Structure 1
Amino acid sequence: MSKYKAVIFDLDGTLLYTLEDLKNSVNFALEKNGFETCTLSQIQYRVGNGVQKLMERCVPDGLLNPAFEKAFSDFKEHYKIHCNDNSGPYEGIPELLKRLKESGYKLAIVSNKFMDATKELSELYFKDTIDVAIGETKDIRKKPAPDTVIEAMKILGVTAKDSIYVGDSDVDINTAKNSGMPCISVAWGFRTRKEQEEAGGTIFADTPTDVFDIVEEKR
């Protein structure tokens, strides 16, 4: 029998493919404010630390740019409307969550995406399986700080000893470490296995089925 009671997931790059919509909203804001737009590849390597940090990395000179706040506001307004134009679960993810739920695990999403979008996408795609979804707010430190994971565990009624984290980046590996739990690093997200290994990753899943087997301690 598995020692785990809860599985906590990252959202972007782990459960959902979201790069196209992020790119489109970033470029809408950049273009509107007279800045050069970004490629999909550039967006891929600038995500992971929340949308403000994403925009800091895309707007020339970041926070020092006088137009930053306007561009960031334009991004948020556009993304609220268009966060689901081209996004969706990775293949096998709905089935993974269903199997975990049916096996008795409590499931949560902890994301650096702002709270409204996190809750909206969770409700849209995973309302029957995800118990709690937490995104970025002003009141709590975002990942890799453990605060949002601790909040999720509190709501689920579990501890770090009986929880496991699933993500796709160095941010997720460090979040799990800071929260006192192991991290399953997935192969289909925004970072390569080499990058995950360099960040300290030790448990790897090539497919959603692998995630289930690791949680169940079958491998």
Structure 2
Amino acid sequence: MLKAVLFDLDGTLLDTAADFTRVLNSLLSEHGLPLQHYDAVRHRVSDGARAVVNLGFSLTPEHPDFDGLLNAFLDRYEQALSEQTSLFPGMDEQLQALEARNIAWGIVTNKPERFTTPLLEQLGLTERCATAICPDHVRERKPAAEPILLACAQLGIRADEAVYVGDHRRDIEAGQNAQMPTIACRYGYVSEGETPEDWNPDRIIDTPQGLLAALRDLQLLED
């Protein structure tokens, strides 16, 4: 039976897009540039800070100004990680249901530890989260299997005793590379032009409330 559920962070477990939008627009305002709408930023968050900066400033990483803008964005984000960030509505109830069944849950993210650790602390999730694997902890980040396999090793379980939940193609590929069941989140920050069906996950959920039902459907969880 299921021993752990592993989550991607941004767009799967946590709704962070409003804080990304706030930080980007504060930087754009200082440069006299048009502000970005929340919906546009939301579609870029799962692709990382570089994609968000590219959206706002229309610069590629090769541009000589890009690194300076990226660092300014990250520094500003670090100073106010959780002003508007929270668990997705309904997610806390799903986590509580897992905890009540003694099923561990953890995080495997491409978000650096510099932001992940304090964010979890600020949201009061550190003690509840059984493991949090960031790119700082591995040689290869998702979609490689290494971060997921490290999380399983820390939990003392086999990969087939866990499931990975994410909102990006790389999340599903990472779970598949680790040879574990995968669940895609249609409610998350799915990039424009992408559809979760194309990633071939084992299940797709439209809301966090669908998680336990998907686990039961996969015969990983008893009623």
Fold similarity call, TM over 0.5: yes
Aligned to 2:62: 64
Sequence identity (%): 27
Provide the residue aligned with 2:100 in structure 1: 102
Structure 1 residues 52 and 159, CA gap change in structure 2 (3 angstroms): farther
2:139 counterpart residue number: 140
Q: What is the match of residue 83 of structure 1?
A: 81
Q: Tell me, in whole angstroms, the C-alpha distance in 2 between the residues paired with 1:144 and 1:212.
A: 24
Structure 2 runs not aligned, ≥5 long:
none
Q: Is the contact between residue 30 and residue 71 of structure 1 (CA under 8 Å) also seen in structure 2?
A: no
Counterpart in the other structure of 2:176: 177
Matches within 5 A, 1:18-167: 18-33=16-31, 36-123=34-121, 124-137=123-136, 140-167=139-166
Q: Which amino acid aligns with 2:14?
A: L
Distance 1:36 1:144 in 2: 34
The 2-side partners of 1:147 and 1:122 are apart by 22
Residues 94, 128 of structure 1: alpha-carbon distance in 2 compared, 3 angstrom cutoff: farther
For residues 180 and 53 of structure 1, do their structure 2 counterparts lie closer, same or farther at Cα, with a shift above 3 Å needed?
A: farther
Cross-structure match for 1:195: 195
Q: Within 1, Cα distance between the matches of 2:38 and 2:170?
A: 20
How far apart are the structure 1 equivalents of 2:62 and 2:35? 18
Partners of 1:184 and 1:203 within 8 A in 2: yes
Structure 1 stretches lacking a partner, 5+ long:
none
Letter in 1 for 2:210: D
Alpha-carbon distance, 1:48 to partner: 1.6
**d(CA) in 1 for partners of 2:139 and 2:27?**
26
Q: TM-score, normalised by structure 2?
A: 0.85
Aligned equivalents of 2:60, 2:137: Cα separation in 1: 19
Letter in 1 for 2:163: I
Partner-residue secondary structure (3-state), 1:185: strand
Q: Aligned partners of 1:176, 1:69: CA distance in 2, in Å? A: 31
CA contact (8 A) 1:186 1:207 kept: yes
Indicate if the aligned counterparts of 1:83 and 1:117 stay in contact, CA closer than 8 A. yes
> In the aligned structure 2, how far is the partner of 1:201 from the partner of 1:4?
17
User: What amino acid does structure 1 have at the position aligned with 2:118?
Assistant: E
Q: What TM-score, normalized to structure 1? A: 0.86
| Counterpart residue identity of residue 93, structure 1 | M
1:125-181 residue CA offsets vs partner (Å, 9 max, x unmatched):
423421111233385332222222122112111121111011122222122112211
CA contact (8 A) 2:7 2:107 kept: yes
Alpha-carbon RMSD: 2.4
SS at match of 1:64: coil
